[in-house]
Structure 1
Amino acid sequence: MEGLVKCSRYAFGPNRLHYCGPDANKEIYDYIADNKSDLGLKKLLEQFETMYPYLRRIAESNGIRDPFDIRVVEAYWIGNRLLENVTQKELFRHLSEVHNLKKKLNAKSFSRLSDILESGGIPHHSFHVFAIWKRTGHEEKEHTIESIDSCRISWGRVMEVSGPTVTVERKQLVILNNKLAFSEPQNQRFTRTLDASDDIEGIESGNIVTIHWGVLCEAINETKVKMLERYTLQSMNLVNRML
């Protein structure tokens, strides 16, 4: 059940803004606060129309029965070797049929997406954010560079902790020469919204944290930082080839 709680921490940010998932943010928050999971939480997370199909795809391609297995959850949100076992054909079918993007996107956008997939698309959260410049949850509208930056899983080093306020040094997503790029590191303040887990409640200067839609999700180690950076840059580079 560890995967359910971790998944909740990443899904919480867009859900509280009513972008994805059921209208059950208080229930999801309570599960996180209690650091507990059960069938009720599983059913709530299954209602995230973008996330859950990706988890199923990754699990099926790796012979894993539970889409909320911790390895699957980390593959989608952070990145790990499970992503390599999803074929381009499987991912294309996933996006065109399961997410129905052939109908949701115009012909030009879908053709562009097909070209990106042929170049090596991956079922990572960052790939969906960068490659599909349109929110596919409750609000189907074009992304801005600011919303893309908020929607991707970013990471940064904690510089200062003052009560509920955490100052994080992170790179922002920008457009440079008509390409996606990262800015120089900048300090940004966040308010700790999720305070149940020791990795958020006990964070201190020097820790590295992940961020999704303004919510600090968890503290991660250097190995996971490298994975998150690797798959984020891989997705960014794929998309930049088509811009």
Structure 2
Amino acid sequence: MSVRGTLLFARYAYPPNQLGYCGPDGAGALLRGDAPDEIARRARLFEGAWSYLEFIARAAGLTDPLDEAVVEAYWVGNELLDRVPSPDLVSFLRDRFAGQPGGTWAGAAARALAHHSFHVFEVYPWSAVLRRTGNPAAVSVLDRCRIRTGTVVAVRSEIATVRSRPLLWRDGVLAHGSKRDEVVSWAVDGRSLLPGLTPGDRVALHWDWVCDVITGEQADRLNACEHRQLALVSGGAAHPCCR
């Protein structure tokens, strides 16, 4: 088990777990950087994310789903995604999520990607709901559930102000709006997997949480994956991928 990969998983998995959307009870355990074995045990109980980690690792010839490169591939994107054939991924998901209602993934044999953005925009039903109804609640879920990039503007205790671009649905197109400031957390009761934040840091966000300080290359990968999915949601051609 890779300790670095395990802690990287926890950074991105904590916010939806804390909100009760996925994973086992007791989300605070994911912020215990001194207890990687417990985090690894809990990671296996994240039905969606763990399925992708297993599949990416197998496709890459790796034995550890919590290998740091595998975890990064799913949450952020990297070259390991090139080793995952789209038809094989859809077949795997069809077996793993049999009987579960969802979005457009079942017909995605030519475009499926073992990345969190694909899960959000195509496995979850919200994009399909949005295209069918224009429901603003669907926009809100997609906006918060995606891994998005931003820049830290200010830090106060365990709270940070981050400048990022929201998702907007206008005239049948899901696209980025103008940059705006949002208030998010990066620690809870003195616990965090980050050593700290500084204004100017480029960060990855998931729901109302700062997951990590990222490089420009990682931000480009995340943005490319998202543009790819936004084009598909809006009925356009796919953007070049995040690999």
TM-score (norm 2): 0.85
Equivalent of 1:207, from 168, 187, 201? Answer: 201
1:126 paired to 2:112: no
Aligned to 1:164: 158
* In structure 2, distance between residues paired with 1:181 and 1:192: 26
Aligned to 1:59: 57
Aligned to 2:105: 113
1:104 paired to 2:100: yes
Change (3 A) 1:132 1:201: same
* In structure 2, distance between residues paired with 1:23 and 1:130: 25
Q: Deviations over 1:169-206 (max 9, x none)?
A: 101112122122111111111133256568x4431111
Between the aligned residues of both structures, percent identity stands at 30
* In structure 2, distance between residues paired with 1:235 and 1:85: 19
For residue 128 of structure 1, report the CA deviation from its aligned partner.
Answer: 0.8
Q: Deviations over 1:94-136 (max 9, x none)?
A: 2211122xx2227xx5xx4333x1341211101110113438x
* In structure 2, distance between residues paired with 1:179 and 1:119: 22
Cα pair 1:122 1:235 within 8 Å, conserved: no
1:187 paired to 2:181: yes
Residue ranges of structure 2 left out of the alignment (5+ in a row): 127-134, 238-243
Aligned to 2:36: 37
TM-score (norm 1): 0.85
Aligned to 1:20: 22
Residue ranges of structure 1 left out of the alignment (5+ in a row): 136-141
* In structure 2, distance between residues paired with 1:192 and 1:4: 18
* In structure 2, distance between residues paired with 1:6 and 1:63: 20
* In structure 2, distance between residues paired with 1:23 and 1:132: 23
Q: Which structure has more RCO (C-alpha within 8 Å, separation ≥ 6)? A: 1
Letter matched to residue 7 of structure 2: V
Aligned to 1:5: 7
Cα pair 1:58 1:82 within 8 Å, conserved: yes
* In structure 2, distance between residues paired with 1:218 and 1:60: 26
Cα pair 1:14 1:20 within 8 Å, conserved: yes
Letter matched to residue 229 of structure 1: N
Aligned to 1:139: none
Cα pair 1:169 1:188 within 8 Å, conserved: yes
Aligned to 2:130: none
Equivalent of 1:151, from 127, 145, 148? Answer: 145
How many residues align structurally?
225
For residue 160 of structure 1, report the CA deviation from its aligned partner.
Answer: 1.4
SS in 2 for 1:144: helix
